[in-house]
Chains A and B, each alone.
Chain A
């Protein structure tokens, strides 16, 4: 009897909470429909000072051209939190009508075939270069429009130091090391090669940026890697790890490599305290912010291979604009218009180059780089014009082990050898490939 009474009481209690919830819901509900017959869509971008200002400028221009559409700007954080948020929004049908996200492996992790709207039928899609289409497509469709510029992975170097010591840009790995030795001998105060393991992700760059050299020697390497046949433990990819080991042991690296952060390394490079820094050119905005006077002292060259004929710059593709399946009707039409405006209209391109710092080359053929770009950007462009480029591995294969940063820190610090590191990374990638359900691993 007592138990029954308690149950009843508990139910009453539950009802009270439910009522409270409903009351709260009633007072907090908001109206979602657009005002006065206008279509309202929202646009999700990474929360980052530069990208937000650019996005807002794009929105202002777009609303002026399309008075019946209102675009709201939303932001998400960069990194693991942001990846989770994007996936959560997609799987709950709450995704913004247009969103900006990485291309390549991260894009494929979104299950594009189920979540995104196919854009291959859009007018601008036909003009896109195949190299970009590949990184925003699956077998079943093309889902992304390029936003921004592709950047080059290789070595950023200080041209003043090079001029002063009359060095020339190295085309082979031994020349690169020899240049380092010359710098060390002539200017003991200048660090020949900067490494910044305070931000562990930077340690991956020497390995990732070597990938174009691998592709040059074996064009089908990436497919073999996805299929589980090619390994980093074997030539030609092994050199990426053995070179990193040599670099760590060469004595050319700064002494505080273990704690230096990426920003500090870029500053040291711009100040001429360091001569070379293996990095991706998308870091140029930081130099432009922190050392505006030194921007033109910075140059770029591809990470050298053992053989000069194989030295090729690795290209990182910019993220794309995507439209989720949840956008329908008027909103879908408005979203498509907005995507076309931002990524491939002359006005949209102009705003992109006005609001951002140039880091490489535009993907969309409609967009033209202004002529007054920094030297490093010109250097990247030269590799592109000469065709001496290949995409980074993450754009060719979805297999990327999550621990590459830690493994490369160990190799670069001399804790493990290059061969061991390569083997560890193969194991790391195997686990991820098995999780993805790929055959051959």
Chain B
């Protein structure tokens, strides 16, 4: 067997595996989303007896006075807001941590790692939110999501800053750039690959978060898209057709994000990965 055939076989197997792992579940979602409730309840791969996708879609969109639309808006605000905070703050912290070694570094790194390891406690967090009058408000939720994601982002940025030559900083300082100008005009643009990675990874995490908004942002006006899923499923009566239509709708934004930014994600992940 020569090398080309071997490569073809390996490639073929890889394609088949990714097909099974990624496309089959997606096709399954699509199939259930076009069926009627009794048909979808069987959860089978059979061809739909009746195509009612449009009915399902309108039912899902009109449930609870158009909760779905509100939920999409809430999710968008939450995701954009918290990811912006994460990117800006984490880039700053990562930059300072890498560039300016001091005795505080150990302490800061400790807290960054603690942020990754220590699980968030729900009730005390709510107490803090109540004291600061941020409970049940979108701004409070944005800060919480930003806090949850910050540690991971700082680690990514810190590793990446190490790859930027110090000479660039020094040149900018010599040319008269102050610290703010130095960061925003010189360093941040160079961090682009890792910024894209952080945006994509954290957007998907925040967008997909179910438990966070459930506890910290109660109330049906504040529902995010993940919260709409449980409207269609319970122990006594399940409407799998509507559930899967809902899933289909919620899957679209992350999917689009991945399709467009696929290459940058991989580039950002690997460029910072091997340097400390």
Contacts and interface: CB of A to CB of B under 8 A. Distances in A.
13 contacts: A6-B104, A28-B140, A46-B234, A47-B231, A48-B231, A52-B231, A72-B220, A78-B230, A78-B233, A78-B234, A264-B43, A289-B237, A289-B239
B73 interface: no
A89 interface: yes
Interface of A: 2-3, 6-7, 10, 17, 21, 24-25, 27-30, 46-50, 52, 72-75, 77-79, 81, 84-85, 88-89, 91-94, 201, 261, 263-264, 267, 282-283, 285-286, 289-291
A3 B102 contact: yes
Contacts of B240: 263
A261 B126 CA distance: 38
Contact of B238 (A6, A17, A263): A263
B237 A28 contact: no
Contacts of A6: 100, 102-104
Contacts of A27: 139
Contacts of B218: 74, 85, 89, 94
Contacts of B123: 88, 91-92
A78 B235 contact: yes
A101 B214 CA distance: 17
Given A25-B132, A28-B134, A92 B127 contact: yes
Nearest to A32: B136
Interface string B79-109: 0000000000100000000001011100000
B223 to A, nearest CB: 9
Contact of A48 (B127, B214, B237): B237
A267 B41 contact: yes
A27 B135 CA distance: 13
Contact of B137 (A29, A46, A47, A81): A29
Contacts of A261: 43
Interface string B4-30: 000000000000000000000000000
B213 to A, nearest CB: 11
Which residue, A29, A75, A79, has most C-beta atoms of chain B within 10 A? A75
Contact of A74 (B102, B220, B230): B220
B200 to A, nearest CB: 24
Given A46-B234, A48-B234, A74-B218, 19 more contacts: A3-B102, A3-B104, A25-B134, A28-B139, A48-B236, A49-B232, A49-B239, A52-B64, A74-B220, A78-B235, A89-B218, A263-B42, A264-B42, A264-B43, A285-B236, A286-B41, A286-B237, A289-B38, A289-B237
A74 B140 contact: no
A73 B220 contact: yes
B236 A286 contact: yes
B175 to A, nearest CB: 23
B237 A285 contact: yes
Nearest to A10: B104
Contact of A291 (B38, B133, B235): B38
